[in-house]
Structure 1
C-alpha cells in the first residue's frame, strides 16, 4: 500500500517551497516542502505539513513563526540541498532574516516569501499539520516557479504556451 500511495502522489505535480524557521540563539532550520496549500484568504492563512521528527518542525513550533519560500524555476539545486539535510545548507545559499518574524528568507532562490506565525498545529500520522497566519508577503520579479511531479523537477513559466482547452 505504501508504494502504491507514493506512486499515486508522485503523479500529482505541486509547487516546491523551502520552509524555514529561526530559533533564538540557534542555527536556522529549513527543509524542502511540497505539502503546502492556501487555506483562507480572509484571514490570509496557509498550511504546511512537516515530518514529526523534523528539526524544522521543532524550530517552527518553538519559535512560533516560519517563512514559506516559494522557489523559482532555476532553484532546483536549492530544493535538492534543503531536501538533503546537509548541515551546512544555510552556508551555501543567500539568505537574510525576514522583516517581521526573523525567519530565514531565501532571497535569491524564491519568487515569493510568506512570513507566518503559527496559529495551530495538528498531529496527523507521521506528520504535523501547521496552520500559519500570513503576516506579510514579499514578491520578487521572477517569472517562473519550480514544480515537482513524476519524481522530477520542472519549471512553470509565465511565458509558457497557453494551456489547452
Structure 2
C-alpha cells in the first residue's frame, strides 16, 4: 500500500517549498518539501513535515529556526536539486541569510520566504511535524507558485 498511497498523494497538486536552516559550522541545509500548511493567522503559525533523520531536520531542531522558501513557477529545477540531496546544492543557487535566524533565503527561486522559530515538534511515522512561529515574511517577486 505504500506505493499506492505515495502515488495517490502525488496526484494532489500543492505548492512546492524548500525548507532551509543553518547547521552551525556545517553550513546551510535544505530540502524540498510539499508538506506545508498554514496553521494559524493570529499568531502567524505554520507547520511542515520533514523526513526523520534528515540533516535539514537536525539543523532545524538544533538551531531552533528555519526558513520556508515558496518556489515560483520557473523554479522546478531548484525543487529537483533540493530533493536530490546533492551536497553542492547551495553552491548552485543564489541565496542570502534571512531574518534573525540567518536561515537561507533562495532569492532567485522563491517568490516569498518566511522565517520561523520552532515552537514544537511531533514525530509521526517516518517524518517529524515541525510547528513554526512565523517571525518575518518577505515577498521576493510577484510570480505564480510552482505546483
TM bin (shorter chain): over 0.9
- The 5 Å alignment of 1:45-64 reads 45-64=45-64
What is the alpha-carbon distance in structure 1 between the residues aligned to residue 16 and residue 141 of structure 2? 18
Task: Provide the residue aligned with 1:142 in structure 2.
Answer: 142
Gaps of 5+ in 2: none
Tell whether 2:5 aligns with 1:10: no
Name the count of aligned residue pairs: 147
Tell whether 2:97 aligns with 1:116: no
What is the alpha-carbon distance in structure 1 between the residues aligned to residue 6 and residue 23 of structure 2? 32
Cα deviation for residue 99 of structure 1 reads 2.4
Tell whether 2:28 aligns with 1:28: yes
Task: Provide the residue aligned with 1:155 in structure 2.
Answer: none
TM-score using structure 2 length: 0.98
What is the alpha-carbon distance in structure 2 between the residues aligned to residue 40 and residue 71 of structure 1? 21
**For the pair shown, which has the larger CA radius of gyration, 1 or 2?**
1
What is the alpha-carbon distance in structure 2 between the residues aligned to residue 24 and residue 55 of structure 1? 12
- Matched residue SS, 1:25: helix
Cα deviation for residue 131 of structure 1 reads 0.1
What is the alpha-carbon distance in structure 2 between the residues aligned to residue 144 and residue 84 of structure 1? 24
TM-score using structure 1 length: 0.87
What is the alpha-carbon distance in structure 2 between the residues aligned to residue 76 and residue 8 of structure 1? 21
Once structures 1 and 2 are overlaid, which stretch shifts more, 28-37 or 1-10? 1-10
Gaps of 5+ in 1: 148-165
Tell whether 2:67 aligns with 1:67: yes
Cα deviation for residue 24 of structure 1 reads 2.1
| Structure ranking higher in helix proportion | 2
Cα deviation for residue 23 of structure 1 reads 2.1
- Backbone CA RMSD of aligned residues: 0.8
Cα deviation for residue 11 of structure 1 reads 1.4
